[in-house]
Amino acid sequence: MFNYLKQVSLSRGGWFLLLISCLAFEAAGLYFQHVMKLEPCVMCIYERVAILGIALAALIGLIAPHFLLIRLSALIIGLFSAVQGLLLAVRHTDYQLNPNPWDQCPLMVDFPATLPLNKWFPQVFEAYGSCSELQWSFLGFAMPQWLIVVFAAYVLVLGGVLLSQLKPTRRRQRTLFK
């Protein structure tokens, strides 16, 4: 399995597939917000940023997957973003399943002054919903619960690919004088 994962990480196809999946999730989030008129909360916005972090990692890996340093950088950025997204989704689920007046999400997003995404792109990164409000569910699970599944899958795949980098690449045998 690790041989296969390493071979996938050495090709642009795997990185492209990762990028497409992230863009699909971002498009779904924007669809929920702008077409279905669901109000995104602060945790929703942070989860979107985590998906964008994985997409950034996919772009980095797509540049030059045969260079170990670039591939490792992409995997570390992607795995970090996936773990952060998983932690955010778990916390968001806790806000929805156990609403407490003393434990609530912030009212406004808090991006660094050097990267004020909510000021640059308010239609995408501005939060105006409540984290504890359940606005949408599918098969009995709310959106943050589905995001736990999504981010856990990203963690497993990116973690497996990162571990596969420790496996040495097999060199092909010369068959000319065999």
Q: Which residues are catalytic?
A: 41, 44, 48, 105, 131
Pairwise CA distance, residues 15 & 122, whole Å: 29
Pairwise CA distance, residues 79 & 77, whole Å: 6
End-to-end CA distance of the chain: 29
DSSP-assigned beta bridge partners for residue 100: 103
Task: Output the CA angle 85-86-88, nearest 5 degrees.
Answer: 65
User: Which of 173, 143, 175 lies closest to 29, judged by CA?
Assistant: 143
Contact 88, 50 (CB under 8 A): yes
**Sign of the Cα pseudo-torsion (145, 135, 122, 114, in order):** negative
